[in-house]
Amino acid sequence: MPYRYSTGDERLDEDLAALIDRVGPSANTDLIHQMMVTCCKLIKDGTERGDVKILNTTLKEMRYAFKVFSPYRRVRKVSLFGSARCGSDTDDYKQATAFAEEIAKRGFMIITGAGHGIMEAGNRGAGREKSFGVNIRLPFEQVANDFIAHDKKLVNFKYFFTRKLAFLKETHGIVCSPGGFGTHDEGLEVMTLVQTGKSHMLPIVFMHPEGGTFWTDWHNYVTDRLLTRGMISPEDLSLYKITDSYLEACDEVTRFYRRYHSMR
């Protein structure tokens, strides 16, 4: 049979199809066949080993992440971002813990980056049973925290882009506590994806402790430097909410899905 996406060798295409059939029935044989064709093309293209390593690791990491999350597909989840460097005695940490504990009581699970600081607070507050960790292997600073380490819902990634994809694919809401470059990168990418229609709408909340100005200072920069110069639109400011209350952050997430459900 002819294949729309082919190796260019009809017999090889049929051999690949036969191999897939031997593995077992699947509703996705056409897509798996295309993936195998792509692998064959890597050989024909003479693709360098370093490039093949990237593809190989990406495929293995994403396959395993899909497997881990699959049993929980019908459970809503919130991704919690924030600094890995804040201690357990800080207001940021305490607020993140309280948020995770409360949102878990409301039926959500928590996804964190599995490290320390705010990530640890999220796993601690939600508890191991309602926690995921998507860890990144780094030469410093990133060992899985005690509240998610060795759990079956911990996934380790080599690449930031596969880790970020797992975060965004599986989440139903984003909450950012104060943090550095990584926190800003994650929060801004989510807003970019929603703004450009590459992601479904979801609640995005920037949360800092009562009396704090971390995210309001950032918001002032956005309005003063980006909005006034026409680099973003006024309606873009509605993509996110800033709060100093963990309860209000929880309400923003749950209220969104009460409205979203009624819209559907």
**Residue range 132-143, pLDDT digits in tens:** 999 998 877 568
Strand order in the sheet with 204-207: 154-157, 131-136, 109-112, 77-81, 174-176, 204-207, 241-243
**Segment 17-44 mean pLDDT:** 95
Give the Cα separation of 94 and 185 in Å (integer).
23
Of 76, 70, 79, nearest in space to 100 by CA = 79
H helices of 177-237, in order, are: 181-195, 214-221
Predicted local confidence at residue 2, as pLDDT: 64
Give the Cα separation of 94 and 189 in Å (integer).
26
What 3-state class would DSSP assign to 206?
Answer: strand
CA distance to 113, 154, 157, 210, per residue, from 160 (Å):
11, 15, 7, 32
Cβ neighbours, 10 Å, residue 23? 9
Q: Per-residue pLDDT for 245 more than 80?
A: yes
**Segment 202-219 mean pLDDT:** 98
Q: Per-residue pLDDT for 198 more than 60?
A: yes
Q: Which amino acid is at 160?
A: F
Grade residue 261 by pLDDT with cuts at 50, 70 and 90. Answer: low
Q: Per-residue pLDDT for 260 more than 70?
A: no
User: pTM of whole model > 0.85?
Assistant: yes
Give the Cα separation of 256 and 204 in Å (integer).
10
- Going from the N-terminus, what domains does the chain have, and what CATH number goes with each? 10-69 (no CATH), 72-263 (3.40.50.450)
Predicted local confidence at residue 107, as pLDDT: 98
Predicted local confidence at residue 142, as pLDDT: 64
**Segment 107-124 mean pLDDT:** 98
**Segment 171-188 mean pLDDT:** 98
Burial of 258: CB neighbours in 10 Å, binned 0-12, 13-18, 19+: exposed
**Segment 76-87 mean pLDDT:** 98
**Segment 71-89 mean pLDDT:** 97
Give the Cα separation of 109 and 233 in Å (integer).
33
Q: Per-residue pLDDT for 263 more than 50?
A: no
Grade residue 121 by pLDDT with cuts at 50, 70 and 90. Answer: very high
Of 122, 132, 133, nearest in space to 98 by CA = 122
What's the pLDDT tens digit per position in 137-177?
887 756 899 999 999 999 999 999 999 999 999 999 999 99
What's the pLDDT tens digit per position in 229-242?
999 999 999 999 99
